A = this chain, B = another copy of it.
Amino acid sequence: MSKKLTSRAEDYSKWYNELVVKADLAENSAVRGCMVIKPYGFAIWEKMQAELDKMFKETGHQNAYFPLFVPKSLFEAEEKNAEGFAKECAIVTHYRLQNDPNKKGKLRVDPEAKLEEELIVRPTSEAIIWNTYRGWIQSYRDLPLLINQWANVVRWEMRTRLFLRTAEFLWQEGHTAHETKDEAIAETKLMNNVYATFVENFMAIPVIQGVKTESERFAGAEETFCIEALMQDGKALQAGTSHFLGQNFAKAFDVKYANKEGKQDYVWATSWGVSTRLMGALIMTHSDDNGLVLPPSLAPNQVVIVPIYKSEEDLNAITEVANGILSNLRGKNISVKFDNRTTHRPGAKFAQHELQGVPLRIAIGPKDLENGTVEIARRDTLTKQTVNLEELVETVEGLLKEIQEALFNKALDFRNTHITEVDTFEEFKDVLETKTGFISAHWDGTNETEEKIKELTKATIRCIPLDMKEVEGVCVYSGNPSKGRVLFAKAY
* Contact surface of A with B, Cβ cutoff 8 Å: 27, 29-31, 34-39, 42-43, 45-46, 62-72, 74-76, 79, 82, 86-99, 105-107, 109, 118-121, 128, 131-132, 135, 141, 147, 151-152, 154, 156, 168, 170, 343
Which residues of chain B are near A43, meaning CB under 8 Å?
62-63
CB-based contact A42/B64 at 8 Å: yes
How far apart sit A109 and B151, CA to CA, in the bound complex (Å)?
A: 24
Instruction: List 11 other contacts, CB 8 Å, given A37-B65, A39-B63, A90-B92.
Output: A29-B67, A31-B69, A31-B70, A39-B147, A42-B65, A69-B90, A72-B107, A79-B105, A89-B95, A90-B119, A91-B94
A-B contact pairs, 29 of them (CB 8 A): A27-B135, A29-B66, A29-B67, A29-B128, A31-B67, A31-B119, A31-B128, A36-B65, A36-B66, A37-B65, A39-B62, A42-B62, A42-B65, A67-B168, A68-B154, A68-B168, A75-B97, A76-B105, A76-B107, A82-B97, A86-B97, A89-B95, A90-B94, A90-B119, A91-B94, A92-B92, A109-B118, A121-B121, A151-B152
How near does chain B come to A172, taking the closest CB pair, in angstroms? 13
Query: In the complex the two chains form, is A97's CB within 8 Å of B69's CB?
Result: no
Asked if residues A42 and B67 are in contact (CB atoms below 8 Å), the reply is: no
- Residues of B near A63 (CB, < 8 A) are 39, 42-43, 46
CB distance from A253 to the nearest CB of B (A): 10
A-B complex: 10 closest residue pairs judged by Cβ atoms: A39-B62, A34-B67, A86-B97, A37-B65, A95-B156, A91-B94, A31-B67, A93-B93, A90-B92, A31-B69
Nearest B-chain residue to A341, judged by Cβ: B141
CA distance A20 to B39 in the complex (A): 35
A147 to B88, CA, bound (A): 31
A66 to B168, CA, bound (A): 10
Name the distance in Å between A342's Cβ and chain B's nearest Cβ: 10
Q: Which residues of B contact A37 (CB under 8 A)?
A: 64-65
Tell whether, in the assembled complex, residue B109 and residue A36 are in contact, meaning their CB atoms are under 8 Å apart: no
A39 close to B67 (CB less than 8 A): no
Question: A29 to chain B: which residues have CB within 8 Å?
Answer: 66-67, 128, 132
Nearest B-chain residue to A74, judged by Cβ: B30
Among A38, A88, A97, A121, max chain B CB count under 10 A is at A97
A89 neighbours in B (Cβ, 8 Å): 95-97
The 8 Å CB contact of A106, one of B76, B141, B147, is B76
B-side contacts of A132, CB under 8 Å: 27, 29-30, 36
Q: Give the docked Cα–Cα distance between A152 and B68 (Å).
A: 8
Q: Are B109 and A93 in contact (CB under 8 A)?
A: yes
A277 to chain B, nearest CB (A): 14
Which of A34, A67, A121 has the most B CB atoms < 10 Å from its CB? Answer: A67
| Docked pose: A66 CA to B97 CA in angstroms | 22
Give the distance to chain B from A393, nearest Cβ to Cβ, in Å.
Answer: 24
In the complex, are the beta carbons of A170 and B107 less than 8 A apart?
no
Which B residues touch A31, using CB under 8 A? 67, 69-71, 119, 128
Least distance between A55 CB and chain B CB atoms (Å): 16
B119 touches A68 (CB 8 A): no
- Is the pair B95, A91 in contact by a Cβ cutoff of 8 Å? yes
Cα–Cα, bound, A82→B100 (Å): 12
- CA distance in complex: A203, B341 (Å): 38
Chain B residues within 8 Å of A107, by CB: 72, 75-76, 82, 86
Q: How far is the CA of A156 from the CA of B76 in the complex (A)?
A: 24
* Cα–Cα, bound, A76→B108 (Å): 10
Q: Among the interface residues A45, A76, A92, A151, which one has the most CB atoms of the partner chain B within 10 A?
A: A92
- Check A35–B67 contact: CB distance below 8 A: yes
Bound-state Cα–Cα, A107 to B70, Å? 13
Q: Which of B71, B86, B343 touches A141 (beta carbons < 8 Å)?
A: B343
Report chain B residues within 8 Å CB of A93: 91-94, 109
- Complex: how many Å from CA A193 to CA B114? 42
Inter-chain contact B70/A97, CB cutoff 8 Å = no
Known: A92-B121, A96-B89, A121-B92. A67 touches B36 (CB 8 A): yes
Taking a contact as CB atoms under 8 Å apart, the answer to whether A168 and B91 are in contact is no
**Hey, which chain B residues are within 8 Å of A98, CB to CB?**
86-87
